Amino acid sequence: MIYLDNAASTQIRDEVLSVINEELVNSFANPSSPYTPARKSRIAIDKARKIFSGILNCQENEIVFTSGGTESDNTAIKGPAKALENLGNHIITTTTEHHAVLHTCNSLEKQGFDVTYLPTDKYGMVSKESVLSAIKENTILISIIYANNEIGAINPIKEIGQALKKIKNKGSRFPLFHTDAIQAAPFLDLNIEELGVDLLSLSAHKFNGPKGIGVLYMKNGTPFEPLITGGGQERQKRSGTENIAFISAAAQAIQLAEDEKKQLYLKVSKLKNKIINQLKQNHPEIILNGHPLQSLPNIINLTIPNIRADDLISALDIEDVCISNGSACTSNSLEPSHVLQAIGISAKLALNTIRISLGRYNFENEIIEFLFIIDKILKRIKMNTPEIINK
């Protein structure tokens, strides 16, 4: 199998799997209990929290463990919004966010919140100026994706964050600033001081960790109303008995990813360029979506006119090659991608668009094989489609 859908999920690392197995056996006690085995469980969670805080350059008590990226995004937006609704009800986001953010904002609109959905440029990027100009007196929260999960476009989070810091230095605590860093985590800087964010979302299965475990950085002092209440775990921010094995595994995964970040960036960049160059050379009608430079090194989003993405994906699947047509959350939908439509691509062309995404377990030999297979399939489809021959 040639797996080229790493933006959807990554293969768990052996080192991470070992941590899961070890903690399932050794940290079985409830960490909220008062006896020695429970303290061992608590120590495992504290160790994981320390690893994440070190990488994000934040306080350990600013790390909240969740069930995944979707919960982290929901919590980052709904928690502060509900806590601040008496002070303001305006939220700013973009039209190209992940559905975990968009649908959360849609839900808040039904509860009386005012949401501004900023348009992006043709590359799927929002400017610092457009974000700042959208701020009102009642703006309480801004949520901008760090790097887009479909086209890889990198937003100027640092520039926006630093500009918002200057606003807050004049005496205001708001607006709070959240970024969905779920796709960015294996490749981009996660230092929250540099980014200037108050909240940041992560999901372990995007950096070779397990599914079902997420992280939310929440700056101390952030007004917050919890989504999940109960026993008061995670310092009253997210109740529920902690998933110790996956928390520990996520910490191991992020540490390994951070240690190898530069190496992985260079590796997948090289493979990405090889794929783009050869496909464009053999099929010049192909359109590359997203910014050619300010983009994640592992995501390739291509529109192939007159060839349905689902037909191509099915043909590749028969050859044991895995790619997608966009976000895994909506890959089975017949609706065209909201991200592609937001950057000006027609609904018809959006349905002719594929996403190839690379990871640490991809190597040049399989990319060569993939290029041979997809070239063969594209030529076959063109031969059987007269209207393509004439274009």
Integer Cα distance of 309 and 323 in angstroms: 10
58 classed as catalytic: no
Integer Cα distance of 286 and 149 in angstroms: 20
Look up residue 19 and give its two tokens: 């941590």
Partners of residue 92 on adjacent β-strands: 116, 142
Q: Cis ω on the peptide bond leading into residue 336 (within 30° of 0)? A: no
Catalytic residue among 58, 105, 322, 329: 329
Question: Which residues have a Cβ under 8 Å from the Cβ of 308 and sit 6 or more positions away?
Answer: 351, 352
**Pairing status of strand 139-143 against strand 90-94:** parallel
Position 122, amino acid: K
The DSSP code sequence of 23-67 is: HHHH--S-TTSSSHHHHHHHHHHHHHHHHHHHHHTS-GGGEEEES
37: how many CB neighbours lie within 10 A of its CB?
Answer: 13
Active site (catalytic) residues: 329
